[in-house]
Amino acid sequence: MAHTDKETLSIIWCDNGLTDGKFTEGLVYTIIHAPSVGVPVNNAIRVQGNQIARQRQGAIEMWEKVGTDWALWVDSDIVLTQEMLKTLWQTADKAFCPVVSGVYFVSKQMEGSLMSPMPCIFNETDDKYKIQYLHPLPHNQVVKVDNAGMGLVLMHKSVIKALNEKFPDDFWFGENSERGDKFIGEDIAFFRKVKASGIPVHAHTGVIAKHMKRFSFDEGYYRLYWSAVEAAERNKRESAKEQQA
Protein backbone atom coordinates (compact mmCIF):
# COMPACT_ATOMS: atom_id res chain seq x y z
CA MET A 1 0.00 0.00 0.00
CA ALA A 2 1.34 3.41 -0.98
CA HIS A 3 2.16 5.89 1.75
CA THR A 4 0.57 9.32 1.73
CA ASP A 5 2.56 12.53 1.42
CA LYS A 6 1.51 13.44 4.94
CA GLU A 7 3.11 10.44 6.67
CA THR A 8 6.16 11.31 8.74
CA LEU A 9 9.24 9.35 9.80
CA SER A 10 11.79 9.50 12.61
CA ILE A 11 15.11 7.66 12.62
CA ILE A 12 16.03 6.35 16.08
CA TRP A 13 19.29 5.01 17.42
CA CYS A 14 20.95 4.36 20.75
CA ASP A 15 24.69 4.50 21.38
CA ASN A 16 27.26 4.71 24.17
CA GLY A 17 28.95 7.83 22.86
CA LEU A 18 31.24 6.00 20.43
CA THR A 19 29.87 4.88 17.06
CA ASP A 20 31.35 3.08 14.09
CA GLY A 21 32.33 5.35 11.20
CA LYS A 22 30.45 3.16 8.74
CA PHE A 23 27.28 3.60 10.82
CA THR A 24 27.68 7.37 10.75
CA GLU A 25 28.37 7.37 7.03
CA GLY A 26 25.31 5.23 6.32
CA LEU A 27 23.06 7.30 8.55
CA VAL A 28 24.13 10.64 7.06
CA TYR A 29 23.98 9.49 3.44
CA THR A 30 20.60 7.85 3.97
CA ILE A 31 19.07 10.96 5.51
CA ILE A 32 20.51 13.16 2.76
CA HIS A 33 19.36 10.91 -0.07
CA ALA A 34 16.06 9.67 1.43
CA PRO A 35 13.97 12.19 -0.58
CA SER A 36 15.47 10.84 -3.82
CA VAL A 37 13.94 7.42 -3.07
CA GLY A 38 10.60 8.85 -2.00
CA VAL A 39 10.97 8.56 1.77
CA PRO A 40 10.48 11.51 4.13
CA VAL A 41 12.83 11.79 7.11
CA ASN A 42 11.32 14.35 9.45
CA ASN A 43 13.15 13.79 12.70
CA ALA A 44 16.10 12.04 14.35
CA ILE A 45 16.11 10.65 17.90
CA ARG A 46 19.31 9.66 19.67
CA VAL A 47 19.56 8.21 23.18
CA GLN A 48 23.03 7.99 24.67
CA GLY A 49 24.00 5.69 27.53
CA ASN A 50 25.30 2.28 28.51
CA GLN A 51 22.11 0.42 29.48
CA ILE A 52 20.51 -0.57 26.21
CA ALA A 53 17.15 -1.66 27.63
CA ARG A 54 16.70 1.71 29.34
CA GLN A 55 17.89 3.51 26.23
CA ARG A 56 15.37 1.73 24.03
CA GLN A 57 12.55 2.44 26.47
CA GLY A 58 13.56 6.08 26.61
CA ALA A 59 13.73 6.23 22.82
CA ILE A 60 10.22 4.88 22.29
CA GLU A 61 8.87 7.34 24.85
CA MET A 62 10.64 10.18 23.03
CA TRP A 63 9.17 8.97 19.74
CA GLU A 64 5.70 9.02 21.30
CA LYS A 65 6.22 12.67 22.23
CA VAL A 66 7.63 13.59 18.82
CA GLY A 67 4.56 12.05 17.22
CA THR A 68 5.81 10.95 13.79
CA ASP A 69 3.80 8.23 12.06
CA TRP A 70 6.76 5.90 11.62
CA ALA A 71 10.11 5.20 13.24
CA LEU A 72 13.11 3.44 11.77
CA TRP A 73 15.19 1.88 14.54
CA VAL A 74 18.87 1.46 13.64
CA ASP A 75 21.58 0.11 15.91
CA SER A 76 24.80 2.08 16.02
CA ASP A 77 26.80 -0.77 14.48
CA ILE A 78 24.47 -1.29 11.50
CA VAL A 79 25.33 0.20 8.09
CA LEU A 80 22.14 1.75 6.69
CA THR A 81 21.55 2.63 3.02
CA GLN A 82 18.80 4.55 1.30
CA GLU A 83 17.95 1.42 -0.71
CA MET A 84 17.25 -0.48 2.53
CA LEU A 85 15.09 2.36 3.80
CA LYS A 86 13.21 2.51 0.50
CA THR A 87 12.46 -1.23 0.48
CA LEU A 88 11.30 -1.27 4.11
CA TRP A 89 9.17 1.82 3.48
CA GLN A 90 7.54 0.28 0.42
CA THR A 91 6.90 -2.97 2.32
CA ALA A 92 5.42 -1.42 5.45
CA ASP A 93 1.70 -0.84 5.77
CA LYS A 94 0.04 0.64 8.85
CA ALA A 95 -2.83 -1.86 8.69
CA PHE A 96 -1.26 -5.09 7.45
CA CYS A 97 2.49 -4.70 8.02
CA PRO A 98 2.99 -2.15 10.81
CA VAL A 99 6.33 -3.66 11.87
CA VAL A 100 8.88 -4.81 9.31
CA SER A 101 12.46 -5.78 10.10
CA GLY A 102 15.43 -5.98 7.86
CA VAL A 103 18.09 -8.64 8.39
CA TYR A 104 21.59 -8.53 9.82
CA PHE A 105 23.68 -11.38 11.13
CA VAL A 106 24.58 -12.11 14.73
CA SER A 107 26.62 -14.76 16.49
CA LYS A 108 26.80 -16.26 19.95
CA GLN A 109 30.56 -16.56 19.52
CA MET A 110 31.17 -12.82 19.62
CA GLU A 111 34.86 -13.24 20.46
CA GLY A 112 35.40 -16.42 18.54
CA SER A 113 37.94 -16.54 15.75
CA LEU A 114 35.39 -17.98 13.33
CA MET A 115 31.91 -16.82 14.29
CA SER A 116 28.78 -18.62 13.07
CA PRO A 117 26.48 -16.03 11.43
CA MET A 118 22.75 -16.36 12.02
CA PRO A 119 19.89 -14.05 10.92
CA CYS A 120 18.53 -11.70 13.58
CA ILE A 121 14.91 -12.78 12.95
CA PHE A 122 13.39 -15.48 15.13
CA ASN A 123 10.42 -17.67 15.92
CA GLU A 124 9.32 -18.97 19.30
CA THR A 125 9.83 -22.48 20.66
CA ASP A 126 8.15 -24.38 23.49
CA ASP A 127 10.87 -23.09 25.81
CA LYS A 128 10.47 -19.38 26.59
CA TYR A 129 14.24 -19.09 27.06
CA LYS A 130 15.02 -20.46 23.61
CA ILE A 131 14.29 -18.89 20.24
CA GLN A 132 14.69 -20.38 16.78
CA TYR A 133 16.67 -18.47 14.18
CA LEU A 134 15.02 -18.23 10.75
CA HIS A 135 17.78 -20.27 9.14
CA PRO A 136 18.37 -21.06 6.32
CA LEU A 137 17.32 -17.56 5.36
CA PRO A 138 14.64 -17.41 2.62
CA HIS A 139 15.74 -15.38 -0.39
CA ASN A 140 14.20 -11.94 -0.86
CA GLN A 141 10.84 -12.65 0.78
CA VAL A 142 8.51 -10.90 3.20
CA VAL A 143 7.88 -13.42 5.97
CA LYS A 144 5.97 -13.32 9.23
CA VAL A 145 8.15 -13.82 12.32
CA ASP A 146 7.69 -13.80 16.07
CA ASN A 147 10.70 -11.70 17.03
CA ALA A 148 13.58 -9.70 15.65
CA GLY A 149 16.53 -7.70 16.80
CA MET A 150 15.88 -3.97 17.04
CA GLY A 151 18.91 -3.20 14.86
CA LEU A 152 16.93 -2.46 11.68
CA VAL A 153 13.17 -2.16 12.22
CA LEU A 154 10.55 0.11 10.67
CA MET A 155 7.57 0.56 12.97
CA HIS A 156 4.21 2.38 12.87
CA LYS A 157 3.01 4.48 15.78
CA SER A 158 0.03 2.13 16.26
CA VAL A 159 2.50 -0.13 18.09
CA ILE A 160 2.77 2.46 20.88
CA LYS A 161 -1.00 2.70 21.19
CA ALA A 162 -1.38 -1.08 21.35
CA LEU A 163 1.36 -1.42 23.99
CA ASN A 164 -0.12 1.37 26.09
CA GLU A 165 -3.46 -0.41 26.08
CA LYS A 166 -2.09 -3.90 26.81
CA PHE A 167 0.89 -3.03 29.05
CA PRO A 168 0.19 0.51 30.29
CA ASP A 169 2.61 0.53 33.21
CA ASP A 170 5.22 -1.96 31.99
CA PHE A 171 8.85 -1.45 31.09
CA TRP A 172 8.45 -2.71 27.52
CA PHE A 173 12.12 -3.59 27.05
CA GLY A 174 12.54 -5.25 30.43
CA GLU A 175 15.04 -8.12 30.43
CA ASN A 176 14.27 -11.33 32.28
CA SER A 177 16.82 -13.79 33.59
CA GLU A 178 17.41 -16.69 35.91
CA ARG A 179 20.57 -18.57 36.75
CA GLY A 180 22.52 -20.25 34.00
CA ASP A 181 21.58 -19.66 30.38
CA LYS A 182 18.00 -18.65 31.15
CA PHE A 183 17.94 -15.12 29.82
CA ILE A 184 15.47 -13.05 27.78
CA GLY A 185 17.02 -9.98 26.19
CA GLU A 186 15.36 -6.61 25.80
CA ASP A 187 14.50 -7.02 22.11
CA ILE A 188 12.80 -10.40 22.55
CA ALA A 189 10.94 -9.11 25.61
CA PHE A 190 9.69 -6.16 23.57
CA PHE A 191 8.54 -8.19 20.58
CA ARG A 192 6.72 -10.65 22.80
CA LYS A 193 4.72 -7.74 24.16
CA VAL A 194 4.12 -6.50 20.62
CA LYS A 195 2.78 -9.92 19.63
CA ALA A 196 0.62 -10.13 22.76
CA SER A 197 -0.83 -6.74 21.81
CA GLY A 198 -2.07 -8.16 18.51
CA ILE A 199 0.50 -6.46 16.28
CA PRO A 200 1.97 -8.67 13.49
CA VAL A 201 5.71 -8.63 12.84
CA HIS A 202 7.24 -9.23 9.41
CA ALA A 203 10.77 -9.32 8.03
CA HIS A 204 12.05 -8.60 4.54
CA THR A 205 14.85 -11.06 3.82
CA GLY A 206 16.01 -9.00 0.86
CA VAL A 207 17.03 -6.14 3.13
CA ILE A 208 20.36 -7.31 4.51
CA ALA A 209 22.61 -4.88 6.35
CA LYS A 210 26.25 -4.99 7.31
CA HIS A 211 26.73 -5.55 11.05
CA MET A 212 30.05 -4.11 12.18
CA LYS A 213 31.71 -6.41 14.75
CA ARG A 214 35.21 -7.36 15.80
CA PHE A 215 36.70 -10.19 13.81
CA SER A 216 39.98 -12.05 14.00
CA PHE A 217 41.92 -12.71 10.79
CA ASP A 218 43.38 -16.05 11.82
CA GLU A 219 44.23 -19.36 10.21
CA GLY A 220 40.66 -20.64 10.42
CA TYR A 221 39.31 -17.61 8.62
CA TYR A 222 42.14 -17.76 6.07
CA ARG A 223 41.41 -21.38 5.16
CA LEU A 224 37.65 -20.93 5.07
CA TYR A 225 37.85 -17.80 2.92
CA TRP A 226 40.19 -19.20 0.29
CA SER A 227 38.39 -22.56 0.23
CA ALA A 228 35.21 -20.67 -0.59
CA VAL A 229 36.98 -18.63 -3.30
CA GLU A 230 38.41 -21.81 -4.81
CA ALA A 231 34.99 -23.48 -4.80
CA ALA A 232 33.38 -20.44 -6.44
CA GLU A 233 36.04 -20.32 -9.16
CA ARG A 234 35.69 -24.06 -9.75
CA ASN A 235 31.91 -23.72 -10.12
CA LYS A 236 32.43 -20.84 -12.54
CA ARG A 237 34.80 -22.91 -14.70
CA GLU A 238 32.45 -25.88 -14.71
CA SER A 239 29.52 -23.67 -15.67
CA ALA A 240 31.52 -22.19 -18.54
CA LYS A 241 32.40 -25.69 -19.81
CA GLU A 242 28.73 -26.71 -19.72
CA GLN A 243 27.78 -23.65 -21.75
CA GLN A 244 30.44 -24.43 -24.37
CA ALA A 245 29.42 -28.09 -24.64
Phi then psi for residue 219, to 5 deg, are: -65, -40
Distances (CA, A) of 51 to 13, 16, 36, 48, 142: 13, 9, 36, 9, 32
Does the pLDDT value for residue 243 go beyond 90? no
pLDDT score, position 115: 75
Does the pLDDT value for residue 4 go beyond 90? no
Rounded CA-CA distance 111/133 in Å is: 20
pLDDT score, position 113: 65
pLDDT score, position 1: 56
Classified as helix, coil or strand, 198 is: coil
pLDDT per position as a tens digit, 7-28: 999 999 999 998 989 999 999 9
Bridge partner residues of 73 (DSSP): 12, 153
pLDDT per position as a tens digit, 200-210: 999 999 999 99
pLDDT per position as a tens digit, 178-189: 677 788 899 999
pLDDT per position as a tens digit, 37-80: 999 999 999 999 999 999 999 999 999 999 999 999 999 999 99
How would residue 160 be classed by pLDDT, with cut points 50, 70 and 90?
Answer: very high
pLDDT score, position 215: 73
pLDDT score, position 112: 64
Q: Return the DSSP state at 89.
A: H
pLDDT per position as a tens digit, 80-135: 999 999 999 999 999 999 999 999 999 877 666 667 889 999 999 999 989 999 99
Alpha helices in the chain (DSSP H): 21-33, 52-66, 82-91, 158-166, 186-196, 219-244
Average pLDDT for 145-164: 97
Phi then psi for residue 240, to 5 deg, are: -65, -40
pLDDT score, position 102: 98
How many C-alpha atoms does 33 have within 13 Å on its Cβ side? 14
